[in-house]
Amino acid sequence: MELIKNLKWRYAAKKYSDQLVSEDKIDQIIEAVNLTASSCGIQPYRLYVITNPEARQKLGEGSFNEQIYTSSHLLVFAGFNKITNEYIKAYVDMMEQQRNLETGALKMLQDTLIGYFSPQTTEQNVIWSDKQAYIGLGTALIAAAELKVDATPMEGFDPKLFDDILDLPEKGLHASVIMSLGYRDADNDYLASAQKVRLPIDEFSIKIK
């Protein structure tokens, strides 16, 4: 299985070279994230792809993760602050159009989603959208490995700084998690040649028959 080989190859790169990732590969990673699973299928986060050097330098201020500004690209997974009725209606409308259904064919789904999300607090919505964003993060890591692009998932950043610089609150969003993309600097990254360490499969997984 080629996927297993690629996952054995990948690691969280600490040092990046100056080589840039082609836009074709970046677009493939973006499409993979767009195709990934999300609860109820409503994609409650947005993906920011940042290459601007000045913006990335500002985003990396105070962080121990220099990969924020030394990599080729930076991905910011920005979760929704609120799952609004308007968003649900618009998304269900899009579902009906893409599936060539009559208007109102998915009203039961729409009403169910509105009934579920309407009573929830902003905090509950934020936690839920963050969980969905992490599913997207996992897919991005796998897609990058398939393309032999190095990646570093990161929580070591200042969410408020990201929110302010990217004007996320004005868009009803917040920074959930980030990931850099690029190519490893094998000569200067101490982890590049290190053995991948994982638990033995029979200790990690439990099969109940």
Q: End-to-end CA distance of the chain: give it in Å, rounded.
A: 25
- The pTM score is 0.96
**Amino acid 147: pLDDT:** 98
DSSP 104-169: TTTHHHHHHHHHHHTT--HHHHHHHHHHHHHHHHHHHHHHHHHTT-EEEEE--S-HHHHHHHTTTG
Question: What structural domains does the chain harbor?
Answer: 2-83+120-204 (3.40.109.10), 84-119 (no CATH)
- Predicted confidence band of residue 62 (pLDDT cuts 50, 70, 90): confident
**pLDDT more than 90, % of the chain:** 97
Residue 200 has pLDDT above 80, yes or no: yes
**Amino acid 18: pLDDT:** 96
**Amino acid 1: pLDDT:** 76
